[in-house]
Amino acid sequence: MNLQMRLKDERRLGLSEGRAEGRVEGCYEMTVDWIYALQAQGMPQKQIVEALALTRKISLTEAQRYYDQLT
């Protein structure tokens, strides 16, 4: 019985970790899509970086790194 409970807990922990990783990956993909959409509309780089920093609540430096990774 103790082994079964431990295996059940380990499985549940594994699923939780997978969900968290999925959320992070989904957020990154959404950011990428958002940046590409703003570029396609002709928004200048500076405005995209500023908007990204505001919406994601990150520094301008970090937002610039996101942008640089994609271009």
Q: Tens-digit pLDDT profile for the chain (71 aa)?
A: 455 565 566 556 565 555 556 666 667 788 888 899 999 999 999 999 999 999 888 999 999 998 998 87
For residue 39, give its domain range: 2-70
- DSSP 3-state assignment of 70? helix
CA atoms of 43 and 37, how far apart (whole Å): 9
Structural Rg of the chain based on CA atoms: 19
Q: Which residues of 26-35 are buried (b: 16+ CB within 10 A; e: fewer)?
A: eeeeebeeeb
* Total tally of structural domains belonging to the chain: 1
What pTM was computed for the model? 0.65
Exposure on the CB side of residue 57, measured as CA atoms within 13 A: 0
